[in-house]
A and B are shown apart, each in its own frame.
Chain A
Amino acid sequence: MKVLQKTLMLATIGGSLFATAASAEQVSLTWQMWTGSDADTKGWQHLADMVTAKYPDIKVTLTTTGWVDYWTRLPVLAASGQLADIVSMQSLRMPNFYSLLEPLNDRIAADKFDVGAFTPSIIGGMSIDKQLYGLPYDVGPWVVYYNQDAFEAAGIALPKPGWTLAEFTDAAKKLTKDGKYGFGITPQNYSVLASAWGDKYVNDARELDLTNPGAITAAETVIGFAAKDKIAPLVPSSADAGTVIQGRFYSGNVAMYVDGPWSIIGMKDKVKFKVGSTTLPRGERELTAVTAGSGFGIATTSKNKDAAWKAIQVLTSPEALQYLAEQGRALPARTASQSSWYKVAAKDITNGGEAIDYSLAHSVPYVITNNWAAVENLFNQYFPPAFAGSADAKQTMDAIQSLAQQ
């Protein structure tokens, strides 16, 4: 009897061991992501755990880097064959790095994955030549943030989404007084504003085209804010024109500036006035607001592409985006999840939701060339002297156009 019992016991143990071995076809995935804080990292880790919760056989190991370092490391990791399975990618950098990522159209078609649930402009931003290279988790149109107290003190009606360039300039002029400026502009705002006005600075062949009449007219307007109308302070051609202008807005020295919804979280604790938000001013045509966002792609070098495809679907699932929205981390790329973000992040911003809604309804992908980082660098170098009045729009655009070709 005892022998039988022991045999049975051994058989059970053996069987269970065998069973464990059978279900242990664990797939281990790596995921490289940027992060700004511990809270941020915890959020991403939560998403990684969501993958394992849905697919117990997939484990995602998260590695994080700071935002700036991430983009220096990415090409270095790629060059040394050490890319993670899941690569996080920002839409603005997609033209530089899409060759590292697996095209997704076939998988989307095979699984009948619903791309239509995402805001179209960010799907465009994550695509190159109609081929999608990553599933997006957030989307953000650039909008204008304004100092509501300054508007009220100057007796100006609060701007409504869809306002015109004339209305914008008029308000900025009235707000420029006592050493304070109506608008804070950076050289990098050029392409965002030119897009909003429907002026093309990249031709249909995706080549830089800064010297066409529309691109130059847009440059004249942008440069004119500082050089002619004097409604914007001068900025040096430093690394951080954006941070300088943001700082001036926070301190109340600039009444309006251009930024994305991703900045709202950081803004609340830093300002002592009521913040409002509206769309970018439109030109004579309808507003065409550009958006940027980020998502996750599969490295071409990954050995577990099928598992990675499953994982990035979880990372961009309604539940995951709902979680990120509730954390105030990101305006979800899925249209249906966006209202939960408005309730949390944009609730203290006057017209915060409306400005984003209007912009998303009028959104277009941000058209850039594949050497955009170099082009932005040239904007940074050549716009400040024009702002200061020592070069005109045409000279500035000619210089940037010729240098960007090198």
Chain B
Amino acid sequence: MRQLSPWRNPPGMEEDMSESAVAELPLQPVQPRRFLKPETQTAMVFLLPSFLGFMIFMALPIVASFALSFTNWQLISTPSFVGFQNYIKLFTVDPSFYTILGNTLFFAVEYLAVNIIVSLTLAVWISSLKHGKAIFRVIFFLPTFTPTIAASVVWLLIFTPDGLADSVIRSLGLGLPNFLLSSSWAMQAVVIVTLWANVGYNVVMFNAALDLVPKHYLEAAMIDGAGPWRRFWRIRLPLISPTVFFATVMTAITSLQVFDEIFAMTRGGPGSATATLGFAIYQKGFTNFQMGYASALAWVMFVMIMALTILQFRMQRKWVHYDE
């Protein structure tokens, strides 16, 4: 009598079942077995458009680009299979690849460090204000509304030889060369513009996290004689470390993909001083029509970003505190 499959036997019900109830059980399968619960079906219907969108515009191109990375495709001809040739060429023949890789990492490391330090400093400063917190948050967030290309074009005019930046540098007696003409300074111009355009995100995020730090911790520390610096290092920073971690990962990913600023301001120049992976993918694909080669570059970039993100997740155990 008790040969019921477990899924029809909710835990705890077994003991309460009367004989009559059990006798009636064979009647229950009349209700058809549904593949999905009604609410799941509804959810599926609502999710379908974005799922389709994801499949068509994200998953499919990703798979296609992987397949293309093993071909030679000039865009107007049919792709021909070349095996690992694109990858081999990338690592062994192309003289510009390691420069591009170096530029990308240099930019990512510098930009990430500067972005986190600047945004954290600004957020702490804003949270210490008695008045006008909202105004400053808006001011720093505003550039993120501006299309990067438009902002970059304006910055290009600022940095152009004999432009505003040059006259400021001259009047301050800094003795720096023009940023866009100097191989060693061009990347700094890109860092400045990217920082200006994007620092607002992290400022707002850190600011919100700082506001959530319980006041009584800070008051207790103050009574114990901890100064502002110590309170920041020992209480506020550990408590907002999950937010800092999230911001670090996201900023690292976007900085490895930097493109707009370089496209509009330097086109990878002067020389190849600002050519990064993101820019090289565009250049190889849409200027030189080497789609297969560009796809191979894109996959190298993907692996790099993935590896760095995994590394960051590993390292978070050492410094991120989740306060329950």
A165 close to B (CB within 8 Å) = no
Instruction: Report the contact-size class of chain B (Cβ under 8 Å from the partner).
Output: 20 to 34
Which residues of chain B come closer than 8 Å to A238, judged between CB atoms? 156, 160, 180, 264-267, 269
Contact B181 A374 (CB under 8 A): no
Alpha-carbon distance between A403 and B97 when the two chains are bound, in angstroms = 11
* Total residues of chain A contacting the partner, CB 8 A: 36
Contact A381 B267 (CB under 8 A): yes
Cβ < 8 Å to A, chain B residues 166-209 = 177-178, 180-183
Contact A239 B180 (CB under 8 A): no
Give 1 or 0 for each of A228-246: 1 = CB within 8 Å of chain B CB: 0000011111111000100
Which residues of chain A come closer than 8 Å to B93, judged between CB atoms? 406
The 30 listed contacts between A and B (C-beta, < 8 Å) are A100-B76, A179-B162, A233-B162, A234-B178, A234-B181, A236-B156, A236-B159, A236-B160, A236-B161, A236-B178, A236-B181, A238-B156, A238-B160, A238-B266, A238-B267, A238-B269, A239-B263, A374-B283, A382-B271, A384-B181, A384-B269, A385-B270, A385-B271, A387-B181, A388-B161, A388-B181, A388-B270, A390-B183, A399-B271, A406-B95
Alpha-carbon distance between A4 and B76 when the two chains are bound, in angstroms = 64
Given A236-B178, A381-B270, 13 more pairs with CB closer than 8 A? A75-B76, A179-B162, A236-B180, A237-B180, A237-B267, A237-B268, A238-B160, A373-B287, A374-B288, A380-B267, A385-B270, A390-B181, A403-B96
Give 1 or 0 for each of B244-278: 1 = CB within 8 Å of chain A CB: 00000000000000000001111111111001000
Contact A239 B76 (CB under 8 A): no
Contact B270 A237 (CB under 8 A): yes
Shortest CB distance B219–A (Å): 53
Alpha-carbon distance between A347 and B132 when the two chains are bound, in angstroms = 60
Shortest CB distance A373–B (Å): 5
Alpha-carbon distance between A391 and B272 when the two chains are bound, in angstroms = 13
Contact B161 A234 (CB under 8 A): yes
Shortest CB distance A371–B (Å): 6
Shortest CB distance B312–A (Å): 32
Which B residue sits closest to A389, measured CB to CB?
B181
Contact A75 B75 (CB under 8 A): yes
Contact A381 B75 (CB under 8 A): no
Alpha-carbon distance between A384 and B161 when the two chains are bound, in angstroms = 11
Alpha-carbon distance between A76 and B76 when the two chains are bound, in angstroms = 8
Which residues of chain A come closer than 8 Å to B75, judged between CB atoms? 75-76, 78-79
Shortest CB distance A257–B (Å): 16
Shortest CB distance A241–B (Å): 9
- Tally the A-B contacts, defined by beta carbons under 8 Å: 105
- 4 pairs of A and B residues whose beta carbons are closest in the complex: A237-B269, A236-B180, A381-B269, A234-B161
Contact B266 A236 (CB under 8 A): yes
Among candidates B77, B95, B287, residue contacting A403 with C-beta atoms closer than 8 Å = B95
Contact A385 B94 (CB under 8 A): no
Alpha-carbon distance between A362 and B162 when the two chains are bound, in angstroms = 37
Among candidates B76, B183, B270, residue contacting A79 with C-beta atoms closer than 8 Å = B76
Alpha-carbon distance between A237 and B93 when the two chains are bound, in angstroms = 26
Contact B180 A97 (CB under 8 A): no
B232 close to A (CB within 8 Å) = no
Which residues of chain B come closer than 8 Å to A37, judged between CB atoms? none
Contact A371 B288 (CB under 8 A): yes
Which A residue sits closest to B93, measured CB to CB?
A406
Which B residue sits closest to A247, measured CB to CB?
B157
B51 close to A (CB within 8 Å) = no
B289 close to A (CB within 8 Å) = yes
Which residues of chain B come closer than 8 Å to A79, judged between CB atoms? 75-76
Contact A373 B288 (CB under 8 A): yes
Which residues of chain A come closer than 8 Å to B272, judged between CB atoms? 381, 403
Alpha-carbon distance between A237 and B75 when the two chains are bound, in angstroms = 27
Contact A235 B268 (CB under 8 A): no
Contact A75 B178 (CB under 8 A): no
Give 1 or 0 for each of A218-260: 1 = CB within 8 Å of chain B CB: 0000000000000001111111100010000000000000000
A20 close to B (CB within 8 Å) = no
B91 close to A (CB within 8 Å) = no
A16 close to B (CB within 8 Å) = no
Which B residue sits closest to A381, measured CB to CB?
B269
Shortest CB distance B59–A (Å): 19
Which B residue sits closest to A79, measured CB to CB?
B75
Alpha-carbon distance between A76 and B286 when the two chains are bound, in angstroms = 10
Shortest CB distance A223–B (Å): 13
Contact B160 A244 (CB under 8 A): yes
Most buried by B among A97, A236, A399, A403: A236
Alpha-carbon distance between A390 and B180 when the two chains are bound, in angstroms = 13
Alpha-carbon distance between A373 and B181 when the two chains are bound, in angstroms = 22
Beyond A76-B75, A234-B161, A238-B264, whether A377 also contacts B287 by CB under 8 A is: yes
Contact A406 B94 (CB under 8 A): yes
